[in-house]
Amino acid sequence: MEFGSFMEFHTRPGQSQSEAFREGFAHIDQAESLGLDGVWMAESHFNPQRSVLSAPLVLGAAIAGRTSRIKIGTAVHVIPLGNPLRMAEEAATLDQVSQGRFEYGVGRSGFQGSYEGYGIAYGESRERFYEYLQIIRHAWASDTFSYEGEFYSYEDVCLTPKPYQRPHPPFRIAATTTDTFSVLGRLGYPIFVGVRGLGASQVAEQVALYEQAWKDAGHEGPIDVSLRIPVYVGESERDAVTLPENSFMKQFRRLGSQLAASATRAGADPREERTERSAQLAQIGWDEVRKEKVAVGTPDMVAAQLAKLRDTLSLSGVVAELNAGEEIPAHKIESSLELFCKEVMPALR
């Protein structure tokens, strides 16, 4: 099992954007010193009340310069928002700067707002995503390459620099819709999963489809599934169960509202079942959330919860969202991270 921290470089009420960057970097410094395996950067646009992390590859280079050991990942880089060849150059540069500590988590985002802000049709996001993924892989693996696609075409170009890792950094792709699991299993990509919109048992069924497609395609080795999940570790059960409730529930209520609002906007895909998932989240309470959508408690409690999810979802990694909802005090995040690294991780190795 590998363990990481999900980073949004969140903003707090009354906090300046400069302070948000300082708090984020302090968290990364602590994670490096405590032996956490990796930090995973989200990508957020046009949402100053929540995050300043709109340029994950730039921040990744800054992280590489102040650390020497920790892995640097994106969770996820929304590749349909840019030029795929430019993204391949910048991601390869980050892999060089970090000397091979980069893992490229990519996705297309479940919400239309970023696409609307950039003037890109969300209805094209799925097709763009798979085309861009092919382009980036070809650009990294070949000295020169040509490509003709629906959105981009290139003739005899040589991407420079090539990545430090050959033929390229590991990819990891966000999977949410059921049909996506089978596609990614057939293609042989490691995946990110979540248990926010669906329960663990439902996600386990999706992972089973991914594993079957992986085996049917003849890929060697075990499947590679990493879970993003809100985590809070406290010294006492009472503190650990009560302190994160408002912040974590804010995250679930916000997700429900976003799903409901996005269901009727341009480009929404009926296969994503946004209305159904929104209705489920609108009715959910803290007790139900605690059962399988978060991991909160003392170190022993959190280790037990994550062990159960590991076995249910065939996990190879956990990415802990330590400030879901942005309202956990900074000093509490520090203590939660320390307990997570010193007591939870060793119990699950």
pLDDT by residue (tens digit) across 121-133?
999 999 999 999 9
| Residue 281 confidence (pLDDT) above 90 | no
What pTM, to 2 d.p., does this model score? 0.94
Q: Is the pLDDT of residue 276 over 60?
A: yes
Q: Give the mean pLDDT of the chain.
A: 94
Residue 119 token pair: 């003037």
When pLDDT is cut at 50, 70 and 90, the band that residue 267 belongs to is low
Q: Please state the φ and ψ torsions of residue 309, each to the nearest 5 degrees.
A: -65, -40
For the four alpha carbons of 265, 271, 276 and 282, in that order, the dihedral sign comes to negative
User: Which among 24, 218, 209, 194 is positioned nearest to 105, based on CA atoms?
Assistant: 194
Share of the chain above pLDDT 90, in %: 87
User: How much is the pLDDT for 261?
Assistant: 75
Q: Give dist(CA 5, CA 23) in Å, integer.
A: 14
Reduced to 3 states, what is the DSSP secondary structure of residue 296?
strand
Does the structure show a pLDDT above 60 at 271?
A: no
**β strands within 176-308, DSSP E:** 191-194, 225-233, 295-297
pLDDT digits (tens, 9 = 90+) for 183-206: 999 999 999 999 988 889 999 999
Residue 270: the pLDDT is 62
Instruction: Tell me what pLDDT residue 280 has.
Output: 72
Nearest to 91 by CA among 78, 104, 107: 104
Calculate mean pLDDT across residues 88-95. 98
Higher pLDDT, 267 or 31: 31
Using pLDDT thresholds of 50, 70 and 90, give the confidence band for residue 259: confident
Q: Judge whether residue 61 has pLDDT over 60.
A: yes
